[in-house]
């Protein structure tokens, strides 16, 4: 079998890239090691930058997003029992959109099926080969047989634990990583959100976040130690704890109910350099991870896809390799700015075990200054809505 682009991974990055390529008449095949149902069962991000939403529109899969998403012009940060609003639209002229990653993935899967582009699910032992040469190929196993796909390029969109980055020789890649000493305990409940916009909370007991997926489905998080066990948290304990971390009026307005999903996510920062190895390219979580505090994970994957699609489009339609050569540098420049912002949001809003009283005073001063300075608020708003591609 032969294709122009072999895409490893059927998450948002792989599906978005695949649909853009298909629309442009560039042949591609997506390989996914799990089932379609498993991909759709993963609970992930829900805040989309305008650039990400525009790319979904470009694929032709944005219709449901526009009818069901929740546009947000700002969000709140609480500390010292006070609630402060960050007016994104007033500061930048832009807003963000609340739309679950699962829904976006579903829309892109439906669009791909309608386009009759090929996705192979339950493709075991996927392995990229010869990507440093001019004749790369990918092998995988399915139905007891080994299959081979010859291609021009390989796009590794298979996440942090995927094979694409692992296939790169150790000497050819450098990684930068920071593991944080806490995680996010998150629940989803079919109850109305506590407010119309997101609420980020800094509290002596730890960070909390009040988010939502729809007007009747809420997503809530509390900071917990990195080694915390999910079985230690009943729904009742969770609701009691998040209320303690919110201003009194916000806590009183919270409607509780049984959780429909509960999990603990570790928090880390990670970047691999470069993102291109001959004819193999890393995109999304395969190349970088950000703490979820800044809502950048899915949006960074989309910006990678933007650069990578432009590079492939230029190669096939303009007979130029300039975009191919520049991909890693362009993508990483935006990645590191998002890493910086996500690190800043994380260190400003969370309590660290070794923070001490001095660190707490510095954190308080940072937040106090933030809401006394339009320049500081603009920095926050510009990064939150998404820096230009």
The one catalytic residue among 203, 296, 330, 350: 296
- Domain 5-75+96-177+268-346: CATH class, spelled out: alpha beta
pLDDT tens digits in sequence order for the chain, 389 residues long: 999 999 999 999 999 999 999 999 999 999 999 998 989 887 677 899 999 999 999 999 999 999 999 999 999 999 999 999 999 999 999 999 999 999 999 999 999 999 999 999 999 999 999 999 889 999 999 999 999 999 999 999 999 999 999 999 999 999 999 999 999 999 999 999 999 999 999 999 999 999 998 999 999 999 999 999 999 999 999 999 999 999 999 999 999 999 999 999 999 999 999 999 999 999 999 999 999 999 999 999 999 999 999 999 999 999 999 999 999 999 999 999 999 999 999 999 999 999 999 999 999 999 999 999 999 999 999 999 999 99
Q: How far apart are CA 296 and CA 234, in angstroms?
A: 29
The one catalytic residue among 12, 72, 99, 291: 72
Peptide bond into 34 cis (omega under 30): no
The one catalytic residue among 99, 180, 200, 327: 200
* 385 phi/psi in degrees, rounded to 5: -75, -15
327 is known as an active-site residue: no
Domain(s) labelled CATH 3.30.9.10 in the chain stretch across 180-267+351-385
The architecture CATH gives domain 180-267+351-385: 2-Layer Sandwich (3.30)
Q: Give the residue among 266, 289, 302 at the shortest CA–CA distance from 101.
A: 302
384 is known as an active-site residue: yes
389 is known as an active-site residue: no
193 is known as an active-site residue: no
- Token pair, residue 294, equals 């800044």
Q: Give the residue among 233, 39, 8 at the shortest CA–CA distance from 124.
A: 8
- Token pair, residue 166, equals 């692992």
72 is known as an active-site residue: yes
Helix axes of 50-59 and 297-318: crossing angle, nearest 10 degrees = 50
Domain(s) labelled CATH 3.50.50.60 in the chain stretch across 5-75+96-177+268-346
Beta strand residue intervals within 157-258, DSSP E: 174-189, 199-201, 208-214, 217-225
């Amino acid at each position: 079998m032969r294709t122009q682009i072999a895409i490893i991974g059927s998450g948002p990055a792989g599906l978005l890239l695949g649909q853009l390529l298909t629309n442009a008449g560039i042949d591609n095949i997506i390989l996914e090691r799990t089932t379609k149902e498993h991909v759709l069962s993963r609970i992930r991000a829900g805040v989309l930058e305008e650039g990400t939403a525009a790319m979904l529109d470009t694929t032709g899969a944005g219709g449901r997003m526009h009818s069901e998403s929740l546009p947000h012009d700002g969000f709140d940060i609480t500390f010292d029992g006070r609630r402060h609003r960050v007016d994104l639209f007033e500061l930048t002229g832009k807003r963000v959109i609340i739309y679950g990653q699962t829904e976006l993935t579903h829309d892109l899967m439906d669009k791909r099926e309608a386009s009759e582009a090929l996705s192979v699910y339950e493709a075991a032992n996927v392995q990229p080969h010869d990507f440093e040469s001019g004749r790369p190929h990918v092998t995988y196993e399915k139905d007891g047989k080994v299959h081979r796909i010859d291609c021009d390029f390989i796009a590794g969109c298979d996440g942090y634990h995927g094979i694409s980055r692992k296939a790169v020789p150790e000497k050819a890649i450098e990684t930068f990583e920071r593991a944080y000493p806490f995680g996010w305990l998150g629940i989803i409940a079919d109850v109305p959100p506590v407010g119309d916009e997101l609420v980020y909370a800094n509290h002596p007991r730890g960070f909390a976040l009040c988010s939502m997926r729809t007007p009747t489905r809420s997503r809530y998080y509390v900071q917990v130690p990195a080694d915390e066990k999910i079985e230690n948290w009943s729904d009742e304990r969770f609701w009691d704890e998040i209320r303690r971390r919110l201003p009194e009026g916000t806590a009183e307005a919270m409607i509780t109910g049984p959780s429909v999903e509960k999990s603990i996510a570790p928090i880390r920062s990670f970047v691999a350099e470069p993102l291109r190895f001959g004819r193999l390219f890393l995109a999304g979580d395969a190349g970088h991870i950000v703490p979820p505090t800044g809502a950048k994970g899915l949006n960074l994957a989309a910006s990678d896809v933007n650069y990578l699609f432009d590079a492939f489009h230029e190669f096939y339609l303009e007979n130029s390799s300039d975009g191919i050569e520049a991909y890693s540098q362009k993508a990483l420049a935006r990645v590191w700015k998002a890493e910086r912002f996500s690190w800043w949001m994380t260190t400003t809003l969370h309590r660290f075990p070794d923070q001490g009283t001095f660190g707490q005073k510095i954190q308080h001063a940072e937040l106090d200054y933030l809401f006394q300075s339009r320049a500081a608020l603009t920095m926050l708003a510009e990064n939150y809505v998404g820096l230009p591609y």
